[in-house]
Amino acid sequence: MRVIALEEHFTAPGLPTHGPGRKPEIVARLTDLGEDRLADMDAAGIDVQVLSPSSPGAHLMGPDEAVATCRATNDLLARTVAERPDRFAGFALLPMPAPEAAAEELDRCVTQLGFKGAMIHGHVQGRFLDADEFSPVLACAESLGVPIYLHPTPPTPAVFDAYFGGLPDQVAGVLAGAAWGWHAETGLHSLRLVVNGVFDRFPGLKIVIGHMGENIPFSLARADSVLSPAATHLKRRVAEYFHENFWITTSAYFTLPPFQCALSVFGIDRLLFSVDYPFAQNADGRRFLDAVPLSPADREKLAHGNAEALLGL
């Protein structure tokens, strides 16, 4: 069975390497795009990684620095994919502090470098993607027919202080990140895209969210029941946008209950396998994939079929 993993990270010169979970061994794995990474994939039976720079990418940079850093990073990724096109594909890193340049870079990465979409690391210095300034990027992704993978990023200082202040530093950092805050904020970001009419303006836009749906599957019925009557400006109910414009990956969520929830709410055709390497382990992801109670045909969809269809792999 072919296995494709979609949220698999690396880092490159000029990108930040600090942050929650960035122990030296993690940084070493992030910087490795060669034989050690391939050996880890082989040991777990991962055939293809769709590579993307880890959060926060270039989001915290000034516009000029972001443009130069993203172009260099994407060129490095393109060389990596060209060396092993059977094992790697790429999601572009975009200079979101410069939205027009970000749209141009997405076009370059897809049409010239062969990338399969882009990963955007959440809010851009406190501004969410439903803001008008980011419309060029969304329009470009829609016109190219490629997805945007919406990934978490650290909260702004004001949000961190309000929600995670007064806690021990290490606990606050983890709670603001992978333990809860990242997922809650990315779920909220996804809801903002819907209720601010992004998918009415760009009906063909494709969004991928990780971590078994960033809490959306559990709360979608409730959100739909109370938001849809309030959002009278929308053409459809809130839940309909999620069912038509969103895909979900399993990244770093390797227990059955959240998978069962995502499956029952979104259906197997919207679910994609991911590991979140190196923050999660390939072997853990593969064990989960092999053990999850699915028919053979549905397991094939989760492992590779849905990714092949969405990304043209």
Would you please indicate which residues are annotated as catalytic (active-site) residues? Answer: 276
CA distance 51 to 67: 19
- Element of type H or E holding 119: strand 118-120
CA distance 67 to 217: 35
Q: How far is CA 181 from CA 1, 21, 153, 163, 185, in A?
A: 35, 14, 9, 9, 6
Give every strand in the sheet of 48-53, ordered side by side: 4-10, 48-53, 88-90
Burial 40-55 (b: 16+ CB within 10 A, else e): bbeebbbebbbbbbbb
What the block records as the tokens of 11 is 């880092």
CA distance 68 to 101: 10
The type of residue at 308 is: E
What the block records as the tokens of 280 is 């999660």
In the chain the first and final C-alpha atoms are separated, in Å, by: 15
CA distance 108 to 104: 6
Give every strand in the sheet of 118-120, ordered side by side: 92-93, 118-120, 148-150, 207-209, 246-249, 271-272
